[in-house]
Structure 1
């Protein structure tokens, strides 16, 4: 692959283009790789669009609003869906932290056993006649 010169080009695709790409990739027998190649986009991008469509987030957005309108939108209270997603993510994070701590303690335990030279690792079998 040839080296790029200058800044990388960033393409902005319309919602309609994204929807069409998703529809084509969801057709029976269609592969993401083939559709992406035909549309000259990266397969990962098409996969992201498919995920957004599956989650219902690939919808037309209204025209840009003024900064004051955007600020008031940011100040709105979170919706129930957002709150439930936040709670779910918080639970997942806590679970992952516990799993991580468990694995760290297991590694410390294994290191201690290895340092002591546990009998099971010495090969002292039951038949020594």
Structure 2
């Protein structure tokens, strides 16, 4: 087995930071992956913190409430998600209109040839 020359980087996060991350991840509009990306942590770590929270490691379970001031990145991600959804809807509408236009053109050709 090779000897490692670089020591692993280990970050220690405060319990308060973990609690806020867990509370944000319980928000129905946010996924664990989005919250983890915004906080620059691995999604698996956040999932582990959620499990520890459910097991009561960070104190008694409190009802989850929305954070008073969400992170700016989380707001941007929510906005991006909404915009991407809207773009997909508009593209679908555009495709339907193109199909309708082709259909009308074919109908005109059929009626003009008869």
Q: Specify the TM-score bucket, using the shorter chain as the normaliser.
A: 0.3 to 0.5
Greater relative contact order, per chain length (Cα 8 Å cut-off, separation 6+): 2
Q: Rg: which structure is higher? A: 1
TM-score (norm 1): 0.41
